[in-house]
Amino acid sequence: MNKNLLKKIYQIMHLIRFSQEHLINIYHPEDKMKCPIHFCKGQEALASCLSQFLVKDDYILSHHRSHGYYISKKCPIDQMVAEFYGKRSGSNEGLAGSQELSYSKNNFYSGTILSGMFSIALGTAYVQKIYNKRNITYTVIGDGGMEEGIVYETLNLASLKSLPILFICENNRYSVHTNINERTKSSNFKKKVESFDIKYIKISEYEIESIFKKLKEAIQYIKSNAKPVFIEYDTMRTCGHVGPEDDDKEHDYRKLDLLKWKNKDSFIDLRKKLIRISNIKSINLIEKRNINIVKSAVTKAQKAKTLNFNTSLKYNLIKKFSNKVKSFAKPSIDFKSNQKTTKLNPY
Amino acid sequence: MKRKINFSTAIKEAMFESMKLDQKVIVYGLGVGTSGNIYGTTKGLKEKFGSKRVFDAPAAESALTAMGTGMALSGARPLLIHQRFDFMIYSLDQIVNWISLWSYKSAGKSQIPITIRTVVGKGWGQGPQHAKSLHSWFSNLPGVSVVYPSSPYEAKGLLLGSIFSNFPTIFFESRSLHASVENVPIKPYFLDPTKSFIRKKGKDLTIVGFGPSIVDALRVSDEIEKRKKITCEIVDLRTINPIDEKTIINSLKKTKNLCVIEHGWPNSSVSSDIISIVTKKVKLKNKPLQVCWPQSHVPTSSDLEDKFYFKISEIIQKIEKNFK
């Protein structure tokens, strides 16, 4: 892979990693981000590689651990951080927080109830397909989400309708704190996915070049075959499930896993490689720029205002109609009391 | 130009017109495009508009609803059909956790203009699994519109109004109304799915209803006016979410007597909500009257079914007892 491409990926990857670490550090002493936040430290690599393939009309529909994908879709950091602070300048004006973070201008959406977004991808991809747009819907789920029934309805429909979807399953082996082996006897996603006649690709490598190559293969397959692909990506979050706390200290639930993954950090690996093939100065420059972006976003969010409460109430149902509706007809009162009713048949 | 057609034909016409008006309208669901054609309402639709815009689907109500959410998100106007309401319950997660809060959580930046047609059965042993009407559940939920038309004219105009609204709508249909007949314009027209209206003017008693209970209200009103020197005003809610309080309150300010008829269970229902709204704002002359199903599941046995659904004579008796 050429040096410039690796640098571009590193720029995104560092922005994700640093933003997570910085927010984790200030979350508690400050106590101003009062919402559940699922940090994605350790799981940045696939989102970073994906950033190099995305165009604006592609959709990303992500699970709750979404910040990496938000950043890979080039959504603004200022608005992400302000959203965590619950401010009007946030991407969702403070109404969604981290768990339902979205940025509609760039077709990025996320949500926390497991598997919903995985399934909503059917619709965006269906519209892309039937109106001949050459875009892809990317949807991200975790190994926990894969246990919901709607997932299998979705795989069936995606295959049946040959939809341009890249299903990404970030398998970090834990559903909150529960290991996958305690949740299922059949953790073999390959078998499940292939049973729906969907192409399955496994990414178990941690080096960026390998991840990038397999991602490229998946995207090319979707484009040339107009069919979905499912990627299972082995990864490990190196932060707690939710919030800034290191929940391994309290729960001690994955000591061996963390030990195993200590030497498989894609971020550190890429950084080392770039220093070797490029120079430390250019890496420092990328990092410095990212650090400024994140710190300035925090400062702006701290100073920002909160949304007016009455305005927030109006967002529930906005009474607007298509421009096909020029006016409303008056009610009719032709209908009288001598109406016959339907006599049902046995079936 | 108008001519008499029945409710299901009115629904069919609304779908044809909507698909002609906007190529972003997509109609789908289990049974769409097969011989049953959702009680004939989708007949000919696939032949006319093609299998991309009209398609049959697997029994996967949750994913189909999610699919509609995605279609709506990317600019289409999906119409999902459930031949029987009871199966729609599979999709509660999508309706409650995703569709209803989409506009709110996006601070109004993103809308889900999906319409979900759902048919409630009645009669011939539909029983506890094919005759439920949980419309009140969705009346409780912010962020969705819930429409329940009462006649063919209402059905056509409201379905067009719902499909072309930018918010999500659950469109209830009573199977018992499908054969009812009314003068309906040939051309497309839109009715506001967020407003109630006065179906019949009167001075002494307001009868509030929606969907199939409007036929009951008309029959009750005719009969009572024959027997007594009173006139009934009938409020056709048309929408049970949001509830158009203004239209209801204005009628009650005049009549000061309230009877609500609802084809559904009485507990935490639209009718109990209407009574609550009215009694907080209007001093009534008599106690308000609530006519509903018993708080029990629907029996299959035809003899028991006959006893389960309220009759016109029973409503009249209750009214005569209550409003002296």
A-interface mutation test, from B69, B97, B115, most A Cβ less than 10 A away: B69
Range of the domain at B80: 2-185
Q: Distance between CA A254 and CA A142 in Å, rounded?
A: 17
What pLDDT was estimated at residue B290? Answer: 98
Of B98, B164, B179, the CB nearest to A322: B164
Is A324 part of any domain? no
Q: Which of A132-136, B115-119, B139-143 has the lowest mean pLDDT?
A: A132-136
Q: Which of B166, B185, B218 lies at the smallest CB-CB distance from A321? A: B166
B61 is catalytic: yes
* Interchain pair B236, A331: CB under 8 A: yes
Instruction: Give the residue with greater pLDDT, A334 vs A25.
Output: A25
Residues linked to residue A141 through DSSP beta bridges, in sequence order = A169
SS3 B285: coil
Identify the CATH number of the domain in which residue B311 sits: 3.40.50.920
Task: Domain of residue A305: give its range.
Answer: 3-314
Cβ atoms of A74 and A106 within 8 Å: the answer is yes
Residue B13: CATH number of its domain = 3.40.50.970
- The predicted model gives B151-175 an average pLDDT of 98
Mean pLDDT rounded to a whole number for chain B? 96
Give the pLDDT band of residue B228 (cuts 50, 70, 90): confident
Tokens representing residue A99 in the block: 């768990």
pLDDT in tens, A241-271: 999 988 998 888 999 999 999 999 999 999 9
What's the pLDDT score for residue B247? 98
Which residues from chain A sit within 8 angstroms of residue B99, using beta carbons?
A: none
Q: How far is A188 from chain B (nearest CA, A)?
A: 22
Chain A positions in Cβ-Cβ contact with residue B152 (cut-off 8 Å): 335
Domain check: are B35 and B180 in the same one?
yes
Contact B104 A329 (CB under 8 A): no
Q: B236: part of which helix (H) or strand (E)? A: strand B232-236
- Span A19-48, mean pLDDT? 95
Q: Does residue A204 lie in a domain region?
A: yes
Quote the minimal CA–CA distance from B88 to chain A in Å: 14
| Predicted local distance difference test score (pLDDT) of residue A168 | 98
Q: What is the mean pLDDT of residues B31-43?
A: 90
List CB contacts (< 8 A) between A138 and chain B: none
Put simply, the answer to whether B73 touches A109 (Cβ < 8 Å) is yes
Q: Tell me whether residue B253 is in a domain.
A: yes
How many Å from the N-terminal Cα to the C-terminal Cα in chain A? 64
| Residues B67 and B167 both lie in one domain | yes
Per DSSP, B301 falls in state: S
Return the structure tokens found at B28: 């789908």
Amino acid A201: pLDDT: 98
- Nearest CB to A127 within list B71, B189, B194: B71
* Inter-chain residue contact B73 with A123, CB threshold 8 Å: yes
* Chain B residues touching residue A111 (CB < 8 angstroms): 97-98
The C-alpha atoms of residue B173 and residue B155 are separated, in whole angstroms, by 8
CA distances from B99 to B27, B65, B145 (A): 18, 9, 11
The reported pLDDT for the residue numbered A347 is 56
Q: Which helix (H) or strand (E) holds B77?
A: strand B77-82
Identify whether B130 is a catalytic site residue.
yes
Among B130, B150, B185, where does a domain finish?
Answer: B185
Residue B301 is assigned to a structural domain of this protein: yes
Average pLDDT over residues B265-290: 98
What DSSP line would sit under B182-218, residue for residue?
EEEESS-----TT--EEEE--SSEEEEE-TTHHHHHH
d(CA A206, CA B161): 53
Pair B123, B222 in one domain: no
As to burial, measured by CB atoms within 10 angstroms (0-12 exposed, 13-18 middle, 19+ buried), residue A199 is middle
In this prediction, residue A29 carries a pLDDT of: 87
Residue A77: CATH number of its domain = 3.40.50.970
Question: Which of B25, B103, B26, B28 has the alpha carbon at shortest distance from B64?
Answer: B28
Q: Which of B185, B208, B237 is the last residue before a domain boundary?
A: B185
pLDDT over threshold 70, residue A146: yes
B191 found inside a domain: no
Q: pLDDT band at A334, cuts 50/70/90? A: confident
Inter-chain CB proximity B62 and A336 less than 8 Å: no
Closest-CA distance, A196 to chain B, in angstroms, reads: 14
Domain identity same for B33 and B101? yes
Query: Which of A156, A317, A341 has its CB closest to that of B177?
Result: A341
Asked if pLDDT for residue A346 goes beyond 70, the answer is no
Residue B106 sits in the same domain as residue B207? no
Residue B177 contacts by C-beta under 8 Å, 6 or more apart in sequence?
A341, A342, B7, B149, B150, B151, B155, B211, B212, B215
Residue B185, preceding peptide bond in cis (omega within 30° of 0) = no
Measured between alpha carbons, how far is A296 from A294 in angstroms, rounded to an integer?
5
DSSP run (H or E) holding B273? helix B270-281
| Residue after which a domain boundary falls, among B185, B207, B236 | B185
> Which one of B13, B17, B82, B130 is the catalytic residue?
B130
| CB pairs A-B closer than 8 Å | 230
* Coil vs helix vs strand at B180: coil
Q: What angle do CA A272, A276, A280 make, to 5 degrees?
A: 80
User: Do B106 and B78 belong to one domain?
Assistant: yes
Can you give the pLDDT at residue B33? 85
Neighbours of A336 (CB within 10 A): 14
Nearest by Cα to B67 from A140, A133, A59, A154: A154
> Which chain A residues are closer than 8 Å to B144 by Cβ?
317
User: Cα dihedral sign for A247, A251, A255, A261?
Assistant: negative
Q: What is the pLDDT of residue B1?
A: 86
* Predicted pLDDT at A187: 84
Residue A203 lies in a domain: yes
Distance from CA of B165 to the nearest CA of A (A): 4
Q: What pairs with residue A108 in β-bridges?
A: A60, A103
B108, part of any domain:
yes
> With contact defined as beta carbons under 8 Å apart, do A127 and B75 qualify?
yes
Kind plus residue range of the DSSP H or E element containing A290? helix A280-303
Q: How far is CA B75 from the centre of its chain?
A: 25
Report the amino acid identity of residue B323.
F
Query: On the CB side of A205, how many CA atoms lie within 13 Å of its CA?
Result: 12
- Whether A330 is in a domain gets the answer no
Output the average pLDDT for chain A. 95
The CA distance from B208 to A166, in Å, is 51
Judging contacts by C-beta atoms under 8 Å, the chain B residues touching residue A113 are 93, 97-98
- The answer to the question of residue B252 being in a domain is yes
Q: Nearest-CA distance from B312 to chain A in Å?
A: 11
Residue A221 CB partners (closer than 8 Å, separation 6+): A199, A227, A229
Catalytic residue among B61, B154, B173, B305: B61
Note the pLDDT tens digit of each residue in B164-204: 999 999 999 999 999 999 999 999 999 999 999 999 999 99
Tell me the β-bridge partners of A109.
Answer: A61, A102
Decide if B192 is inside a domain: no
Instruction: Report pLDDT digits (tens) over A206-229.
Output: 999 999 999 999 999 999 999 999
Chain A closest-CA separation from residue B108 CA (Å): 5
Quick one: A257 exposed, middle or buried, by C-beta within 10 A (0-12, 13-18, 19+)? middle
- Burial label for B227, CB within 10 Å (0-12, 13-18, 19+), is exposed
- Mutation pick from A322, A330, A340, A347 vs chain B, by most beta carbons of B within 10 Å, is A322
Query: What is the number of structural domains in chain A?
Result: 1
Mean pLDDT calculated for residue range B226-247:
96
Q: How many CB atoms lie within 10 A of CB A221?
A: 16
Domain count within chain B = 2
ipTM field: 0.96
